[in-house]
Amino acid sequence: MAKGQSWYSVLYVQVIIAIIIGALIGYFSPTTGVALKPLGDAFIALIKMMIAPIIFCNIVHGISSMSDMKKVGRVGVKTLVYFEFVSTLALIVGIVLAMALRPGSGFNIDPATLDPKAVQHFVTDAQHSGVVPFLLGIIPDTFVDALSSGVLLQVLLIAVLTGVAVAHLGPLGEAVTRAVGTAGKVVFAIVRIIVKAAPIGALGAMAFTVGKYGTGSLFNLLQLILTFYVTALIFIVVVLGSIARLAGFSIFRFLAYIKDELLIVLGTSSSETVLPQMMDKLQRLGASESVVGLVFPTGYSFNTDGSNIYITLCVLFLAQATNTHLDAWQLFAVLGFAMLTSKGGSGVSGGGFVTLAATLAVVPDVPIQALALLLGIDKFMSECRAITNIVGNGVATIVISRWENELDAGKLGAIMADPVGARERAMAESLVRGGERQ
């Protein structure tokens, strides 16, 4: 909190209050809570509206400003290797914790009593998803279509191509780079205006969730929800915490540094609502535009740690709930196939269920209609998925930046400990440099 700033004017305080008020509205007046859904939808739509131009401007400016084009390829390879390694760890953590805590034991569900029609459209979508459709889906129909549709990987593709092309235009490219950089500043200014509405969006989204689904659906499956949250917490503290320590920073300081964004995600159940703010904060830590632009948005498809934990944990939960024994080979099959489906299912509507249905295909002993058990509580796990994904991608961006020798560990820790003071010092230094040039 900045000096002289009132506690009630701080964003994360406003979001916390809004979440509490929204939950109370949904609990005491479910009809009103459901009616407030457009508030959350509108805020998410406003943020999504800005994602494509932010990614495009950030990456084009970052790449076109680089003198070493080999760095783009080097960063890309490092990023994909890191994502695959950490994503696999997330899948393994889900399996290990599901086997240790056994959240589905004792349910003794008879699959014949479940309605297969309730999950039929998820199964149908799963049959049409996969690695090849996913890869082909990266290519937009037209250049403009990528920007208008807002599909992240399509925007990434045209942004990288544009950035590389501009970098080879010489003096003309330098003028284009300056123009794109200016456009990027305008886009971020718009985002800062939109983010002020985050408490209203969080209130509407939370009121709808509690009003629509109530708390009754929680109790019979509370063990699974708690297991998922505990597993995600262990992954963040132990796995991501260890990676962070090796990279020279504290995971707890990083969580405190992005607390505003985590609370917005908690309120809206969407990780996309904080993509612009996270990219801005990561750059403040010292990471370059090009690295942040390449790593962080790509993680939304290739490094979904929370979703990976959800997939393997739920597969084993459904097996335990239906008294289906899975041997070691079947567990390896689940792990191997989930490494593919967790990427191929990204960006699909209802992606969590679609990916889960596709993964269940490798263990036909678990009846597909068992997915109906999760329909009522999936919304209560989406917040945890989104938060884990955001933390994982933030850590990944810092790690890749350290590998590229862009960040100093001491400075990194100081900024995380006092982000407001660091921002004020940076502004003061910028003014001094501007005065010296004059």
71-147+216-433 — its CATH code? 1.10.3860.10
Instruction: Provide long-range contacts, Cβ within 8 A and 24+ apart, for 406-412.
Output: 406/286, 406/287, 406/288, 406/291, 407/248, 407/285, 407/286, 407/287, 408/286, 409/247, 409/248, 409/249, 411/286, 412/248, 412/249, 412/285, 412/286
pLDDT in the model for residue 436: 47
Tokens of 437: 């040039």
pLDDT in the model for residue 362: 73
Question: Are residues 277 and 191 in contact, defined by beta-carbon separation less than 8 angstroms?
Answer: yes
Residues in the chain: 438
pLDDT in the model for residue 354: 65
pLDDT in the model for residue 177: 83
pLDDT in the model for residue 77: 84
Can you tell me the distance from the alpha carbon of 141 to that of 145, in angstroms, rounded to the nearest whole number? 6
Q: What is the pLDDT along the chain (438 residues), one digit of tens a residue?
A: 555 557 566 677 788 888 888 888 888 888 888 888 888 888 878 877 887 888 788 788 877 776 556 776 788 788 888 998 998 999 999 999 989 988 878 777 666 665 555 455 454 555 555 556 667 777 888 888 877 776 777 888 888 888 888 888 878 888 888 888 888 888 888 888 888 888 888 888 888 877 876 665 555 567 888 899 999 999 999 999 999 999 888 899 999 999 888 888 887 777 777 888 888 889 888 888 878 888 888 888 778 888 889 888 988 988 888 888 888 888 888 888 777 666 654 444 445 666 777 777 777 777 777 776 776 677 778 788 889 999 999 999 999 988 888 877 777 877 887 766 555 555 555 444 444 444
pLDDT in the model for residue 424: 57
DSSP alpha helix (H) spans, 285-366: 289-302, 305-321, 328-344, 351-360
| Residues contacting residue 226 through CB under 8 Å, at least 6 positions apart | 103
Alpha carbon separation from 430 to 126, 177, 283, 415, 423 (Å, rounded): 52, 21, 15, 16, 11
pLDDT in the model for residue 380: 73
CA angle 128, 311, 378 (to 5 degrees): 90
Q: Which helix (H) or strand (E) holds 231?
A: helix 222-234
Q: Locate tokens 């597969």: which residue? A: 315
Alpha carbon separation from 217 to 185, 211, 315, 377, 384 (Å, rounded): 45, 12, 20, 7, 17
